[in-house]
Amino acid sequence: MTLNFADLQMRELPCPRNRVAVTLMIRILLFTLLVSGSSVFADRPNIVFILADDLGYGDIEAFGGERCQIDTPHFDQLCRDGMKFTDAHVTDSVCVPSRTSIMTGRYALRFGEKEKGGPWGFIGLQFPETQFTLGDMFQRAGYATGYVGKWHLGTRMTTKDGKVQGPANTDFTRALQIGVPQFGFEESFILPGSLDMFPYAYVRNNEWQGNVTAQKGWSAFNRVGPASEDFVDHEVLPTFCREADRYIREQAGEEKPFFLYVALTAPHTPTSPEPEFEGKSRIGIYGDFVMNVDACIGRVVDSLKQAGLTESTLVMVSSDHGPGHYSGRQREATAFQMKEMEEEGHFSRGPWRGYKFSAFEGGNRVPFAAKWPGTIPAGAVNESLIGLNDLMATWADVAGVKLEEDEAPDSISFLSQLKNPEATRTRESMVIRGTRGNVFRKGKWKLLLCPGSGSAGSFATPPVSDEAWKAAVETYGKAPKNHAELEQPPFLQLFDLEADPGETTNVAAQNEELVAEMIGEFRAVLKQGRSTPGPALENGRELKVFAPVPGFVWK
């Protein structure tokens, strides 16, 4: 029996007296079932989602194959016990918007102005407190909800002067005003940002942990800021594993199922493996750190086993985007040091082009595996296009929740494909972004609405955005007058991912009709405020097919 709390509404009965009587009887029955221990949740699994940070497609042996030189036995075992997806994507090749899409089932590009905040982990709310989230959805389903790990979706902290939060004025002796609990998670233990982003202090259910009176910084970028006195970088992963284990053990004896979101902080810099993993990999400290991440996945899976929950739990594991090429054998962030590992046979990006921040596949195609004993066939490989923004609709189907028309408007359930890898594909197209360019994916075709890599800055993937735009204008022979003139080469790129998975040959000029068709579909998705069936919704800001476009393009 699947109990959908959202559907416990009386249908029209012929007599008001009968309607009242039946309503009372249903309430008595529900109370009896819940109190007596007869589970109304028996056929709905617990769900554990583990999200790594900056983990590349090729960092996992089951995905990278011969181009992977790191041992990842636990992730690989999940693939053998369940299903691996080879065409899974995030919506954005950078952390905050990627995680926003996962948490809300809505493309991050649709959200309007963010709440003001300070740098790094002091960022303000990335979406309103009223936004429907995964936590809200699972609570509606009657699940217990827990969150452990990196948050980085913004908070509202208590400050000493009532002004916008930052390193100097945050009151670490007082609770957060808005944090993870306000987004539907009953239990939470987090870092506000990444491991190389201050404040370096844990927050449990909105309460700061320890004395946040120190100033610390770590390798990579050495960002020095507020920290708890006892905070140590290499202790973060085992701390999160212990918290996940504690949550699982506490929920094991409960009647209702649970949802646990475990957001690891690695292998994102600082490259800080636990001491026992130092020197364990054959390719250096980055490999050590990935092995540490893999071990954390194994610890969470083992916690489920020890609690007797393996058979009743759906486990999913993935990454928030592709790897940053500034990671590698040196602890200090150094542009393209990842190339050193590639020269010796390890490709964190896998067979794809590009890295974190870019619009190329290496920036947004991620390893993804799911295990659900008795439901997901073991050892299955699924080549269907899915997005991590699809998790909300998929889990809603698993939990028996009916989503309202304005909830998860860019999330499409792939539950049928979890059960059968040969099932009809549910997603045909998807919106993806680099930090400096939009992408519209449709089947085997990938349309980049920008020249170059769609990334900028010190850690961009070549061709860097500004240089690529300058070259495109020069090739065009004049400054374009409007966005309509950008809808042609050399301002856009079309790749056939089946024939050209490395995105080496732009075939836009040979497929003008297809390009126009895809632009039209992309524009409709932006305008409708949703990519799923239903009434049009408002976007939080004006959206354009080409965005952003450097100002010099128009001059």
- What DSSP string runs through 298-321? HHHHHHHHHTT-GGGEEEEEEESS
CA distance 7 to 400: 9
Residue 297 domain-assigned (yes or no)? yes
Query: What would the two tokens of residue 61 be?
Result: 């042996």
Regarding whether 476 and 381 lie in a shared domain, the answer is no
What is the average pLDDT score of the chain?
93
The structural domain count of the chain equals: 3
pLDDT at 187 over 80: yes
pLDDT at 156 over 60: yes
Average the pLDDT over 161-174 and give the result: 98
* Sheet with 493-496, edge to edge strand ranges: 429-434, 437-442, 445-449, 493-496
Regarding whether 290 and 406 lie in a shared domain, the answer is yes
| pLDDT range class, residue 32, cuts 50, 70, 90 | very low
Regarding whether 540 and 435 lie in a shared domain, the answer is yes
Regarding whether 538 and 507 lie in a shared domain, the answer is yes
Domain final residue, candidates 404, 423, 442: 423
Per-residue pLDDT, 34: 41
pLDDT at 14 over 90: no
Residue 41 domain-assigned (yes or no)? no
| CATH code, 303 | 3.40.720.10
Percent of the chain residues past pLDDT 70, beyond the cut: 92
Regarding whether 484 and 383 lie in a shared domain, the answer is no
CA distance 433 to 91: 6
CA distance 80 to 290: 19
Average the pLDDT over 359-375 and give the result: 98
Sign, CA dihedral 484-485-486-492, equals: positive
pLDDT at 195 over 80: yes
Per-residue pLDDT, 42: 56
What type of residue is 262?
V
Regarding whether 102 and 17 lie in a shared domain, the answer is no
Per-residue pLDDT, 43: 82
CA distance 106 to 101: 5
Per-residue pLDDT, 148: 99
What type of residue is 56?
G
Tell me the backbone φ, ψ of residue 310, rounded to 5 degrees: -55, -50
How do strand 429-434 and strand 437-442 relate by DSSP bridges?
Answer: antiparallel
Query: What would the two tokens of residue 132 be?
Result: 């429907």
pLDDT digits (tens, 9 = 90+) for 311-359: 999 999 999 999 999 999 999 999 999 999 999 999 999 999 999 999 9
Regarding whether 327 and 381 lie in a shared domain, the answer is yes
| pLDDT range class, residue 219, cuts 50, 70, 90 | confident
How many CB atoms within 10 Å of residue 532?
Answer: 18
Biggest CA-to-CA distance, the chain: 79
Nearest to residue 169, comparing CAs of 154, 151, 157, 155?
157
Regarding whether 441 and 410 lie in a shared domain, the answer is no
What type of residue is 409?
P
pLDDT digits (tens, 9 = 90+) for 542-552: 999 999 999 99
Tell me the backbone φ, ψ of residue 449, rounded to 5 degrees: -90, 55
How would DSSP label each residue in 32-56? HHHHHT--S-TTS-EEEEEEEES--
Nearest to residue 538, comparing CAs of 529, 546, 549, 530?
529
Query: What would the two tokens of residue 432 be?
Result: 């993806």
pLDDT at 17 over 70: no
Helices 95-104 & 391-399, crossing angle to 10 degrees? Answer: 30
Regarding whether 466 and 367 lie in a shared domain, the answer is no
pLDDT at 4 over 80: no
Domain final residue, candidates 423, 453, 470: 423
Per-residue pLDDT, 75: 98
Residue 519 domain-assigned (yes or no)? yes
pLDDT at 119 over 90: yes
CA distance 425 to 411: 14
Regarding whether 128 and 19 lie in a shared domain, the answer is no
> Cα separations (Å) of 234 from 277, 280, 282, 367?
10, 15, 20, 24
CA distance 324 to 289: 14
Average the pLDDT over 187-205 and give the result: 97
Average the pLDDT over 393-416 and give the result: 98
Per-residue pLDDT, 266: 98
pLDDT at 423 over 60: yes
Domain final residue, candidates 394, 423, 452: 423
Regarding whether 465 and 446 lie in a shared domain, the answer is yes
Average the pLDDT over 27-47 and give the result: 54
The β-bridge partners of 107 are none
Separation of first and last alpha carbons in the chain: 65
Average the pLDDT over 5-28 and give the result: 41
Residue 194 domain-assigned (yes or no)? yes
Q: Which H or E run contains 237?
A: helix 236-252
Burial of 20-39, coded b for 16+ CB within 10 Å and e otherwise, reads eeeeeeeeeeeeebbeeeee
- Judge whether 364 and 87 are in contact, CB under 8 Å: no
Regarding whether 457 and 486 lie in a shared domain, the answer is yes
Q: Where in the sequence is the domain holding 19, given as residue range(s)?
A: 5-36
* SS3 state at 90: coil
Residue 189 domain-assigned (yes or no)? yes
Length of the chain: 555
Residue 166 domain-assigned (yes or no)? yes
CA distance 59 to 287: 8
Range list of β-strands (E), 376-512: 380-382, 386-387, 429-434, 437-442, 445-449, 493-496
pLDDT digits (tens, 9 = 90+) for 232-275: 999 999 999 999 999 999 999 899 999 999 999 999 999 999 99
Q: Which H or E run contains 201?
A: none
Residue 73 domain-assigned (yes or no)? yes
| CATH code, 507 | 3.30.1120.10
Q: Any idea which of 20-24, 136-140, 462-466 has the lowest mean pLDDT? A: 20-24
Residue 410 domain-assigned (yes or no)? yes
| pLDDT range class, residue 7, cuts 50, 70, 90 | very low
DSSP symbol at 226? E
